[in-house]
Amino acid sequence: MAVSSILWKLCRFLGTSAILAGGISFGSVSDVHATTLTATTSPAVFQFNNSYIYPDHEYAPINYNGHVYVSVRFVAENMGVDTTWNSDTHTVAFTTGTGQTGAPTPYIQISASKIKVDPQQINFVFNGQPVTLDSSYVAINYNGHIYVPARFVAEHLGAVVGWDGTTNTVTINWINGPYHGLLPWFAQAYPNEAIGAADIVQFENGKSYLVVQTKPDWMKNKPGTIYFISPNHTIVKFSSNIDFPTSASAIPLSSGTLIEIGGIVGAHSEYNYLFDLQNSQPEVFTKFFADNGLLTWIQDGKLDVFISNRTYAWDLVAADGQKDDSSKNVVEEYNPNTKEFNTIDSYTSSVFTPTDMNSNPRVDAVESIYYLRSISVNPNVASGLTYIPFTWSTSAITDYNNLKQSLSFLQSDDTQVVTLKTINESGTKANYLYQANGHSLLISLQKDTTWHVKDFAVDPSAQALQR
């Protein structure tokens, strides 16, 4: 799904202290070797299936012998894998499919400094199978936690690991389910591709593909690529303008399923591709570019797209006398009969002065849903956030604070395109219903000088839906 630049940055930096830790002491870890080794704390950052997750200082990554070491639980638990420690046998056991994947966390800067670590003799068991640590690796004890190379744990759990030396970033990508082997196959078949995102998608005919988005290498004048890989390893590929891939999502419509693939271009712009099936093969249906916000959603069964682009004219003056830029905004709706997008609304708004901003009630409702879904993944830190959507009224903020414990049903829907049902739309009032996982959220908006979100209601009554 495409999200606005603000929301994308929010998704990247949200987190909880529990996930930040990334590792838990295995209890008493005794040194089995007398030799103490010299290593260096590492400023490496980690990207798990496109989510940035940072270990804190107690569990700082370590650079030893040219490898990035982390607490064994950091990689495993952020891949949704359970770990257990047997102190009698010095064994770490990993069991897949039983844990929850990690959520994006705030950035933490860890500088490089020399440290002393102790080598350990540790046994490893992955899903019941003993695995010997590679001869070029060594398990080490740091701050009472067992460290091994991130690659060792991730690859034995079926992930593909990449390293970007220019940004000190370790990328870990994996696929769950029956097609989990497709991604390692792709990485072996295309070893020079830097994987940015990987997702399983399905068209309306039931045909499934692994979608792999690769990162561009502009030093070699090489753009990114979008690969559609079938279970029998048939590949269809397309050149991509995306610098930082985000995700691929299926958009189910009555006329068929579209596949949406998007990401960030440059510092804050967004590019979004829509694919459909043509002659039983994926093809680019259309594409969108926006430098001030891009949203897609289903409204009453129809696909809507919001596109906002700055004019860079700096032709507005804010209330405080400061210059402000303007943006041209359009809302387009897909007509399945003509297979074209038609403009259903257009307006100009300010970029940096939200109180002066014109808006569209559907756009405000959809952006609120994307925002709520993002922070519902990390409810423990939501109360500390300083960013609130500009269109929320004081009463909407109060409603959110009262209801946030009831919004956990949004978590498992975080990767799906938003679907809204119109309850009513008038000149000054609008009500939309969002449904997911057996629950619903009513978003009410009101227009004074401009539209704003008035309030929220979880699982509203029939009377509330008629207001």
How confident is the model over 357-369, as pLDDT tens digits?
A: 678 999 999 999 9
In a domain, 77, yes or no: yes
Q: How confident is the model at residue 430 (pLDDT cuts 50, 70, 90)?
A: very high
Q: State whether 159 and 184 are in the same domain.
A: no
Give DSSP secondary structure letters for 361-415. Answer: HHHHHHHHHHHHHHHHTSHHHHTT-----TTB-HHHHHHHHHHGGG-GGGGGGTT
Residue 408 lies in a domain: no
pLDDT tens digits, 212-263: 999 998 888 889 999 999 999 999 999 999 999 988 999 999 888 999 999 9
| pLDDT at residue number 26 | 44
- Token pair, residue 75, equals 């990689």
User: Tell me, what's the pLDDT at 371?
Assistant: 86
Of 210, 233, 263, which one is at a domain's C-terminal end? 263
Task: For residue 150, name the pLDDT band (cuts at 50, 70, 90).
Answer: very high
What pLDDT is recorded for position 467?
61
The pLDDT of residue 416? 76
Cβ contacts of 327 within 8 Å, gap of 6 or more? 292, 293, 308, 309, 310, 311, 348, 349, 350, 351
Q: What angle do CA 454, 455, 457 make, to 5 degrees?
A: 155
Same domain, 110 and 191: no
What are 170's strand-pairing partners?
Answer: 46, 163
Is 205 within a domain?
yes
User: What pLDDT was estimated at residue 383?
Assistant: 45
Buried b (16+ CB within 10 A) or exposed e, 197-234: bbbbbebeeebbbbbbbbbbeeeeeeebbbbbbbeeee
Q: Give the pLDDT band (50/70/90) at residue 333.
A: very high
* pLDDT score of 28: 43
Range of the domain at 181: 175-263
Average of pLDDT values for 96-109?
Answer: 66
- Looking at 241, 263, 285, the residue that finishes a domain is 263
Residues whose CB falls within 8 Å of the CB of residue 252, separated by 6 or more in sequence, listed in order: 204, 298
- Indicate whether 131 belongs to any domain: yes
Specify whether 114 is located in the same domain as 205. no
Position 434 scores a pLDDT of 94
pLDDT for residue 269: 94
Joined together, the tokens standing for residue 5 give: 């630049």
Residues 77 and 185 in one domain: no
Confidence (pTM) = 0.84
Q: How many CB atoms lie within 10 A of CB 251?
A: 22
Same domain, 207 and 73: no
What local confidence, expressed as pLDDT, does residue 98 receive?
60
**Are both 113 and 249 inside the same structural domain?**
no
As a whole number, the mean pLDDT across the chain is: 85
d(CA 145, CA 458): 43
d(CA 110, CA 300) in angstroms, rounded, equals 48
Banded pLDDT at 35 (limits 50, 70, 90)? confident
**In angstroms, rounded to a whole number, what is the distance separating the alpha carbons of residues 178 and 82?**
20
Instruction: At 338, list the tokens.
Output: 């003509």
**71 shares a domain with 33:** yes
Last residue of a domain, one of 164, 184, 212: 164
Asked whether residue 222 falls in the same domain as residue 115, the answer is no
Q: Which of 141-145, 185-189, 459-463 has the highest mean pLDDT?
A: 185-189
Residue 386 falls within a domain, yes or no? no
Q: Is residue 295 part of a domain?
A: no
Query: What's the confidence (pLDDT) of residue 325?
Result: 92
Task: Indicate whether 140 and 192 sit together in one domain.
Answer: no
- Does the pLDDT of residue 92 top 50, yes or no? yes
pLDDT one-digit tens code per residue, 370-414: 888 877 765 444 444 456 777 898 999 998 888 878 888 887 655
The pLDDT, as a whole number, for residue 110 is: 79
Q: How many domains does the chain have?
A: 2
DSSP string, 288-344: EEESSEEEEEEETTEEEEEEEEE-----EE-TTS-EE-EEEEEEEEEETTTTEEEEE
Q: Which of 14, 200, 18, 228 is nearest to 104 (CA)?
A: 14
Does residue 318 lie in a domain region? no
Same domain, 54 and 193: no
